[in-house]
Amino acid sequence: IDLVLVATSTAIDRSPNTAARVAARLGIPEPAAMDVNVVCAGFTHALATADHTVRAGAATRALVIGADKMSEVTDWTDRTTCVLVGDGAGAAVVEACAPGEEAGIGPVLWGSVPEMGNAVRIEGTPPRFAQEGQSVYRWATTQLPPIARRACEKAGIEPADLAAVVLHQANLRIIEPLAHKIGAVNAVVARDVTESGNTSAASIPLALSKLIEQGKVRTGDPALLFGFGGNLSYAGQVIRCP
């Protein structure tokens, strides 16, 4: 491992960053170590960053982690948010594919809506999570489906050919309509929010890991990973299941 990327928005300390602490605990010698704070879209941003870095030859093998401890930043007096969140972590190793082998990570489609960035926030002293739920819901259910379809187009795959759709586990009322609207009619849709809650940057690797463990997807199956939320940022790519 020569690159460690940790997607998190709940690191309490500014320095050393979480990636450096992970590298130290694992005994990884001399890696580049960076935290990526894109909140709920953190893992897909970090995965794309690792993909780009390996393709450019700046790293040979990257450890990509999505981890958030939402209980640290939850406002337990706010019943609109405290019942939704959970703590979790998930990780993947990214390395170059063999010559002639199909890449396991497709092109990323990412962006943000800065003028709506305050709709999901972790701020204050001590930091507390808050969101404008109805605004986020309307944005996610109306604006994200065409963006998710474009992520499939960049990968050269029709949504109907996806084996799995793994969205950020925000809310079933967002997840299920979004998967339906993009036309992923043959895909298993990750619904880990009902078991783990909204674990922010951890939700996508956690949900994908469970689908693999349950045998609902197989090695090589195409899966859309799509993160969205804090900062009103989004990032998605089609991967081949490891």
Q: Which residues are catalytic?
A: 40, 168, 198
What's the CA gap between 148 and 159, in Å, rounded? 9
| Burial of 25: CB neighbours in 10 Å, binned 0-12, 13-18, 19+ | exposed
Instruction: Give the closest residue to 174 by CA, choosing from 214, 226, 210.
Output: 226
What's the CA gap between 214 and 177, in Å, rounded? 23
What's the CA gap between 89 and 68, in Å, rounded? 7
| Locus of tokens 């700046």 | 58
The β-bridge relationship of strands 61-69 and 3-7 is parallel
| Locus of tokens 């490891």 | 242
Q: Are 1 and 93 in contact (CB under 8 A)?
A: yes
| Locus of tokens 């953190």 | 42
What's the CA gap between 68 and 63, in Å, rounded? 16
Position 153, amino acid: E
